[in-house]
Amino acid sequence: MRRVSVLPVKFHGWLWASLFLWVAGFCMATQARAESAADISRDARAALERLYQQEPKTRVLGEKAVAVLVFPSILKGGLLVGAESGDGALIRHGKVQAYYNITAVSFGLQAGAQKFGYALFFMNEAALKFLDQSDGWSLGSGPTLVMVDESYAASITTTTLTQDVYAVPFGGQGLMAGVGLQGSKITSLNLN
């Protein structure tokens, strides 16, 4: 008598469930993208101001940056396969200049959902030009990118800002730990 393992069937079920959740999440993110430019602008400005209030040292980044790309609400979810997506606004000289989307797909042991935001502080024109001219910026390539956590934020001064781009993840309670940009891609949105 031949023995049949049940494990592949269970795994197969988890794989389909994971794929379903990923597709559902992607659809929700696509639906969320239907937000108007005015909504994204308003939310991005409000999120940046909240970040400055909750973490005053990040204001130094904003004062030195040539532009700030703010993703006020990124949704991340998955089960074995994860996906994240969110829309944001590029703020330069106090005005919204352009709109972008950030997406990522991840594989591995994961379950659940999370909502967070990012502020990317572009410290020089070359880094901003790279964003503008690339057909989708895969983070980790191109300009030097530094993740700012709570301890790093505490040490920020005008003399320590030497990198191209500083990425600051945040949630409802200020800086957010355990959020990474690896595998994320930023693409331009035509909302005008």
Instruction: Collect all residues with Cβ–Cβ distance below 8 Å to 7 and sequence separation of at least 6.
Output: none
Mean pLDDT of 35-59: 92
Full-model pTM: 0.76
User: Are 191 and 99 a contacting pair, CB within 8 Å?
Assistant: yes
The first and second tokens of residue 98, run together, are 């352009």
- Ordered by start, the domain boundaries in the chain are 37-189
3 state DSSP class of 67? strand
pLDDT band at 129 (very low <50, low <70, confident <90, very high): very high
Q: What is the mean pLDDT of residues 98-124?
A: 86
pLDDT digit string, tens, across residues 158-191? 566 778 888 898 885 444 445 566 678 999 998 8
Closest CA to 51 of 188, 180, 171: 171
pLDDT for 113: 76
Query: What number is the average pLDDT over the span 123-145?
Result: 84
**DSSP secondary structure string, 155-180?**
T--TTT--SSEEEEEEETTEE-SS--
